[in-house]
Each structure stands twice: as C-alpha cells, then as structure tokens.
Structure 1
Amino acid sequence: MSTPGFIRELRASIGHRLLFLPGVSAVVFDEADRVLLGRRADDGGWSIIGGIPEPGEQPADAAVREVFEETAVRCVPERVVLVQTLEPTQYPNGDNCQYVDICLRCRAVGGEARVNDDESLEVGWFSLDALPPLREFALTRIKLATAEGQTWFEPAREAPTGQ
C-alpha cells in the first residue's frame, strides 16, 4: 500500500513511533449481490478494499475514492457497517500505526472491476458462497454488511464515575 504524502511528512519528524490514523474499508456489492475483493500486492491475500483518508476528507468520500483508485469501480455508500480501533501494526520498515477503521457498505454503480493501481494483484467479484480465503478482518465486515441492523462498535467498558 503506498504511503500518503502527509504521513511521509509526519514520519520525517516522529520516526517509527506509533501513529494513530483513520482508515476506511468498503464492502462493495454489485447488482447480483457479489462482493468486490482485491488481492493485495503487499501480502498476496484477498481482502475488501480500503485505505487512509486524506486530511479533511470525509470517510464516505475516502471509501469511494479508494474503491475507484484500486479497482476502477464506481460506488455509492449506503451505510456505516462498523467502527473499530484495530490492534497496532508494525510494518517491515519499522513504522508503527494503529487505525480506527470506519467500514461502509457500498453499492457499485459503474465501471468494470480491474487492477487500477499498484496496490492490487487481482480484483474480482465473488458470490458470498464462493469467497476466496479471507482474514477475519474482511469476513467480519462482509458478515455485518449483509446483515440488517445498527452499526457495530466495541461497547464502552465502563461509564465514568462522578467525583
């Protein structure tokens, strides 16, 4: 995944220290209710599409942009599926990041799925009963995107007490 310029600038000042960042992911469905997946260039695994919003960019706009940049598919967000702080990640270069992922269910409205940048090796539409091997991150989001209901979030641990 290519690193946005604003993060490279921050890294010049903070080095490899933990950086807390927003992230977006998109579970995109077509008219046949197949899900759009990309096989990532960094680790070779299949996943839903995602990325990092630019400064000032709204999460829905970032999801639409990331889907188009990576797959050439145009989509519209339908609802927020999940908001979750992920475990910290250390990249091979030593950078440490922790993401708050905002996952959106989206509907494809145009374009032909294809590799559209250097972040993916393959992209394609998959029926829910014929998904390739996926990590729990993607499986959870797909499951929640297919269910009706409220946005998922980690429940608060405890309400603050008065003083």
Structure 2
Amino acid sequence: MPVPEFVVALRTKIGHAPLPLSGVIAVVLDERGRVLLVRRSDNGEWALTTGCLEPGEQPADGARREVFEETGVVVEAERLLSVEALELSTAPNGDQVHWLAIGFRCRPVAGTPRVNDDESVEVGWFAPDSVPPLPAHQARCLALARAGDGDPWFAGSR
C-alpha cells in the first residue's frame, strides 16, 4: 500500500515510533442494502474502504476520495457514524500508528465497482447476510450504518 508522502517525511524523523494519524472508514450502502467491500492486497481480508486523511483534508472528503481511489465508485457521505481511537497498530515494517478512525455512511452516486488501485485485489457488493468477518471497529460502523439515522457512536460515550 502506498504510504502518503507526509508520513514518509515524518518517518525519516521519528523512525518506527508511534505516530498519531487520522483515518476514515466508509460504509457504502446501495439502494438494496448491500455493502461495498474490498479484499485488501496486504492481508487478503475483506474490509470496508479505509484510508489515511491528508493534512488539512476534511474527513468526508477523505472518505469520498478513498472510496473512489480503491473502488472506482463515486459516493456521497450521508452522515457521521463513529469517532474512535483505535489500539496501537504495527505495520509489517515496524511502523507504529495510533489511528483516530472516523466512520461515515455513504451512498453510491456513480461508477461500477472495480479494483482501482494496488491496495485491493477484489471489490464487491455483499448482502447483509453474506458479509465476511470484519475487524470489530468496522463491524460496529457497518451496524451503525444499517441502524438508520441514529446518533454517532463515540468510544466511552455509552
């Protein structure tokens, strides 16, 4: 997966030390209630579309950008789902990241799903009863998106 240039520049100064980064999780639901998933190229697992925000990028814009970059689908961000600090993660190269994950429910407005970059090897729509296992924070975002127009979920708020 390509590492954003600003992260590469920071890593030259801090090495593998924990780096706080903001990211987005996009739950794309079509008119039939299916969810758009990508099979990641780094671990072969199915996942919601996720990605790192660029410095100064608005989170909803980042969600739209990431979905298009990974799937070729143009989406509209409909509402905020969640805001959560994830556990410290370590990349295969040793880089450590503290992610602040911001989840959005999105709807497709144009495009046909396809593998659109090297971050995924497969893209597809999944019916609610056929979604493969997802990481806990992504499964939570999916459940919140399917629940309708409720309040956003914040870790520690409930």
> What is the aligned partner in structure 1 of residue 86 from structure 2?
86
Aligned residue pairs total: 157
Alignment pair present for 1:155 and 2:156: yes
Alignment pair present for 1:3 and 2:31: no
Q: 2:42 aligns to what SS in structure 1?
A: coil
Q: CA deviation at 1:94?
A: 1.1
Structure 2, unaligned runs of 5 or more: none
Structure 1, unaligned runs of 5 or more: 158-163
Please, what TM-score do these two structures have when normalized by structure 1? 0.93
Counterparts of 1:24-63 in structure 2 under 5 Å? 24-63=24-63
Aligned-pair identity (%): 52
Structure 1 residues 147 and 156, CA, compared in 2 at 3 Å: closer, same or farther? Answer: closer
Asked if 1 retains the 8 angstrom alpha-carbon contact of 2:64 and 2:76, the reply is yes
Structure 1 residues 156 and 146, CA, compared in 2 at 3 Å: closer, same or farther? Answer: closer
**Inter-partner Cα distance in structure 1 for 2:91 and 2:130:** 31
After TM superposition, where is structure 1 displaced by more than 4 Å over at least 4 residues in a row?
Answer: none
> What is the aligned partner in structure 2 of residue 160 from structure 1?
none
Aligned AA (1:60): A
Alignment pair present for 1:77 and 2:77: yes
Pairwise CA RMSD = 1.3
**Inter-partner Cα distance in structure 1 for 2:54 and 2:20:** 14
Using the TM superposition, name which of 22-31 and 130-139 deviates more.
Answer: 130-139
**Inter-partner Cα distance in structure 2 for 1:79 and 1:140:** 15
**Inter-partner Cα distance in structure 2 for 1:23 and 1:54:** 9
Q: CA deviation at 1:137?
A: 2.6
Using the TM superposition, name which of 130-139 and 38-47 deviates more.
Answer: 130-139
Structure 1 residues 79 and 94, CA, compared in 2 at 3 Å: closer, same or farther? Answer: same
> What is the aligned partner in structure 2 of residue 161 from structure 1?
none
**Inter-partner Cα distance in structure 1 for 2:45 and 2:137:** 12
Aligned AA (1:30): D
Please, what TM-score do these two structures have when normalized by structure 2? 0.96
- Structure possessing the higher radius of gyration over alpha carbons: 1
**Inter-partner Cα distance in structure 1 for 2:83 and 2:133:** 23
Asked if 1 retains the 8 angstrom alpha-carbon contact of 2:25 and 2:138, the reply is no
**Inter-partner Cα distance in structure 2 for 1:72 and 1:24:** 17
Q: 1:129 aligns to what SS in structure 2?
A: helix
